[in-house]
């Protein structure tokens, strides 16, 4: 198949990569040798060297084995970006386990589903999240909970002050029941031995990670990403960033590691290349600006909402962001004006990329250096990656500039969905990953995403699945029909709107419904807008026409823009 994009590549980027068949965790062992005294993690004033990170990961691995974790057992991490999240990630791999990344914003219902589906035996979580986990344990296969706290890796005196801030913020002081099921991370780091663990290893087939994603046809699915998938994508990222220097870059880690983009583009890439990770547990514009000024990151993978949040901060002009050389934006479309403004402020380069959880995640990106910008394009395929546009009618490849479904193939493409062979077959065909996104490729090999076949909502970089929201709202006794959809939002890209039909004689306010939704859904999934209707648009067979509602909203926005 013709690959016109190769002609666009700068000389420094290879078209194909030679991948070395070694496990993901071995890169941390190498970094501990090559960059032993270099700082691997900077976290709110606390620093860990690569030697310390490696030793801590081996301690965690050893402890997991004493809990009975064997090869291919699943261990969940439910943490924001902290040193513990990196230690545990590599520790699980050293123990031969499979990482199950779990969003710390999840409520009980969502935690229970993911633990059951993955079959996780152990979970590592924050003290403030422990009550949620403990409530669902009996309904899952979880045998052990390891509890840690933000203060565990804060320097003195922040570690003493933080619990008081936490109590004020959350109104609770968590006491962990020290039963045989519950364990403290700090005790593990004090008592466990940093023993190396040798495992039999299959680069192609051994799953390193279950990363949950979903669709409108059901609950989230566990994407099986192998060691090869993740090593390949981080290696591609490194090839793309050809001006970055091994052991020298400083990477701002705001993108959450429980999201595959942050995990690959920040954590895995940093460990592979000996970079310093500057971690922030959540995105706060002012904290981020202060951190950039003080820590001087050079590499800043992010999402449009993060860049917009910084640009809109009233004190932006008082901060020096000139250390930033390069930024790869993902998770949602990057507005051109945001790209230009951020480059003006930092003096660095910001480009948009494209990918999916099922591809570890990146498949395409624009060039950071030495090439012109192509407006509206998500760029060209990465090294060792093939891409095409398939006809929706025939499933055959289409010529340039014809609209169809974007399909990709490469070593970063998932093994399949966990325990879902039928859905795997529907998504992977002859090695091609069917993305569900509609678009086209121009004559030079640049790709353009026009729409999504799926009804997934992307709000603030988070993937949100309408069916999950609808399932919860349908449980309200006053609701007869409901449909959730993504509607345009200036800041988040899209936001969630729920269209509701009440049962005859029932009365329900937006506030009451919002309060109900917040009990069962993570905050980012809760609808921001509710519209009560007498009826919803449907097909002849009674299927609610979600796309008709979305189109209605788009027309409203266009009309408002015309009149403003």
- The three state secondary structure string of 109-138 is HHHHHHHHHHCCCEEEEEHHHHHHHHHHHH
- Cα(233)–Cα(165) distance, integer angstroms: 39
Predicted confidence at residue 172, as pLDDT, reads: 61
Name the domain boundary from 452, 468, 496: 452
Q: Average pLDDT for consecutive 10-residue bins of the chain (564 residues)?
A: 91 96 97 98 97 98 96 97 98 97 93 97 96 95 95 86 72 65 94 82 96 67 98 98 97 94 97 98 95 98 89 94 95 82 96 94 96 89 98 93 95 97 95 92 94 76 82 89 88 91 92 96 95 82 73 84 78
CA-nearest of 99, 322, 64, 293 to 194 is: 64
Reading the block at residue 403, the tokens are 């609209």
pLDDT of residue 453: 66
> What is the structure's pLDDT at 216?
34
What pLDDT, on a 0 to 100 scale, did the predictor assign at position 409? 98
pLDDT in tens, 521-536: 999 999 999 999 998 8
Q: Which DSSP state fits 241?
A: T
CATH number at residue 559: 3.30.300.30
Is the domain of 160 the same as that of 66? yes
List the CATH number of the domain containing 419: 2.30.38.10
In angstroms and rounded to an integer, the radius of gyration of the C-alpha atoms of the chain is: 23
Q: For residue 441, tell me if it sits in a domain.
A: yes
Asked if 184 and 55 sit in the same domain, the reply is: yes
Joined together, the tokens standing for residue 120 give: 């996780």
Distance between CA atoms of 369 and 325, rounded to whole angstroms? 10
CA distance 502 to 516: 15
Residue 410 confidence (pLDDT): 98
- Tell whether 428 and 466 lie within a shared domain: no
Same domain, 485 and 448: no
In whole angstroms, what is the distance from residue 305 CA to residue 254 CA?
12
Q: Same domain, yes or no, for 448 and 461?
A: no
The pLDDT assigned to 557 comes to 80
Using the 3D structure, point to which of 137, 171, 201 is the last residue of a domain.
201
Helix-then-strand count for the chain, H and E: 17, 26
- Domain contains 371: no
Nearest Cα neighbor of 227 from 208, 212, 202 is 208
- Report the alpha-carbon distance of residue 410 to residue 230 in Å, rounded: 12
Same domain, 95 and 174: yes
Full residue range of the structural domain in which residue 107 is found: 50-201
To the nearest 10°, report the CA torsion of 54, 80, 378, 412: 40
pLDDT of residue 489: 87
d(CA 327, CA 302): 7
Strand-by-strand arrangement of the 39-43 sheet: 46-49, 39-43, 276-279, 250-253
Q: Is residue 442 part of a domain?
A: yes
| 8 Å CB contact between 299 and 241 | yes
CA angle 171, 495, 288 (to 5 degrees): 55
DSSP string spanning 360-392?
SSEEEE--SSSS---TT--BEEPTT-EEEEE-T
- Paired tokens of 386: 């093939």
User: Do residues 553 and 431 share a domain?
Assistant: no
Residue 469 covered by a domain: yes
Model pTM score = 0.86
Residue 335 CA to residue 341 CA, distance in Å, equals 10
Are residues 65 and 154 both part of a single domain? yes
Specify the number of domains making up the chain: 3
Q: How far apart are CA 36 and CA 214, in angstroms?
A: 40
Give the Å distances, CA to CA, from 32 to 19, 186, 216. Answer: 21, 22, 43
CA distance 359 to 415: 10
**Which of residues 134, 168, 201 is at a domain's end?**
201
Domain containing residue 157: CATH number = 3.40.50.980
Query: Pick from 263, 264, 267, 269: which is nearest to 278 by CA?
Result: 267
Return the number of other C-beta atoms located less than 10 Å from residue 21's C-beta: 11
d(CA 409, CA 219): 25
State whether 63 and 167 are in the same domain.
yes
Domain membership of residue 338 (yes or no) is no
Residue 217 confidence (pLDDT): 41
* Same-domain check for residues 149 and 66: yes
Is residue 325, in this structure, part of any structural domain at all? Answer: no
Do residues 124 and 191 both lie within one domain? Answer: yes
Residue 414 lies in a domain: yes
Nearest to 464 by CA among 497, 424, 418, 500: 497
Is the Cα dihedral 241, 247, 248, 251 positive or negative? positive
Distance from C-alpha of 41 to C-alpha of 204, rounded to nearest angstrom: 29
Whether residue 402 is found in the same domain as residue 510: no
The answer to the question of residue 368 being in a domain is: no
């Amino acid at each position: 198949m013709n690959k016109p994009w190769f002609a666009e590549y700068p000389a420094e980027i290879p078209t194909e990569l030679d991948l070395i068949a070694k496990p993901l965790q071995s890169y941390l062992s190498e970094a501990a040798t090559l960059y032993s005294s270099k700082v691997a993690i900077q976290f709110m004033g606390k620093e860990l060297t690569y030697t310390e990170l490696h030793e801590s990961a081996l301690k965690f691995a050893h402890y997991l084995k004493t809990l009975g974790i064997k090869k291919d057992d699943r261990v969940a991490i439910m943490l924001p970006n902290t040193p513990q999240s990196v230690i545990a990630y590599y520790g699980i791999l050293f123990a031969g386990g499979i990482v199950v990344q779990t969003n710390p914003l999840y409520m009980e219902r969502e935690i229970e589903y993911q633990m059951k589906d993955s079959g996780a035996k152990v979970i590592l979580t924050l003290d403030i999240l422990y009550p949620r986990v403990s409530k669902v344990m009996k309904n899952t296969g979880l045998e052990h909970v390891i509890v840690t706290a933000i203060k565990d890796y804060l320097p003195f005196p922040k570690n003493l002050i933080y619990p008081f801030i936490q109590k004020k913020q959350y109104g609770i002081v968590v006491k962990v029941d020290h039963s045989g099921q519950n364990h403290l991370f700090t005790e593990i780091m004090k008592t466990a031995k940093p023993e190396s663990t040798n495992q039999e290893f299959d680069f192609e087939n051994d799953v390193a990670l279950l990363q949950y994603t979903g669709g409108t046809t059901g609950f989230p699915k566990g994407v099986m990403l192998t060691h090869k998938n993740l090593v390949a994508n981080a290696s591609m990222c490194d090839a793309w960033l050809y001006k970055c220097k091994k052991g020298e870059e400083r990477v701002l880690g705001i993108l959450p590691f429980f999201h595959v983009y942050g995990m690959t583009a920040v954590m895995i890439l940093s460990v592979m290349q000996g970079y310093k990770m500057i971690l922030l547990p959540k995105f706060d514009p002012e904290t981020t600006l202060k951190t950039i000024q003080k820590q001087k990151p050079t590499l800043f993978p992010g999402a449009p909402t993060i860049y917009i949040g910084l640009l809109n901060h009233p004190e932006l002009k008082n901060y020096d962001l000139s250390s930033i050389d390069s930024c790869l934006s993902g998770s949602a479309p990057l507005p051109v004006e945001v790209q230009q403004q951020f480059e003006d402020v930092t003096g660095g380069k910001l480009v948009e990329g494209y990918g999916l959880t099922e591809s570890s995640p990146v498949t395409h990106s624009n060039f950071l250096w030495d090439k012109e910008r192509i407006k509206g394009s998500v760029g060209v395929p990465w090294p060792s990656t093939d891409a095409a546009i398939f006809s929706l009618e025939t499933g055959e490849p289409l010529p340039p500039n014809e609209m169809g479904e974007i399909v990709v193939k490469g070593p970063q493409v998932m093994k399949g969905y966990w325990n879902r062979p039928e859905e795997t077959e529907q998504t992977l065909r002859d090695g091609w990953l069917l993305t569900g996104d509609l678009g086209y490729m121009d004559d030079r090999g640049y790709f353009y995403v026009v729409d999504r076949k799926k009804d997934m909502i992307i709000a603030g970089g988070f993937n949100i699945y309408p069916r999950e929201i609808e399932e919860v709202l349908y449980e309200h006794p006053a609701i007869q029909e409901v449909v959730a959809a993504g509607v345009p939002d200036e800041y988040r890209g899209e936001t969630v709107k729920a269209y509701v039909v009440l049962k005859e004689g029932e009365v329900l306010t937006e506030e009451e419904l919002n309060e109900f939704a917040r009990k069962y859904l993570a905050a980012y999934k809760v609808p921001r807008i509710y519209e009560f209707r007498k009826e919803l648009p449907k097909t002849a067979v009674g299927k609610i026409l979600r796309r008709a509602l979305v189109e209605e909203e788009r027309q409203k926005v266009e009309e408002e823009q015309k009149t403003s």
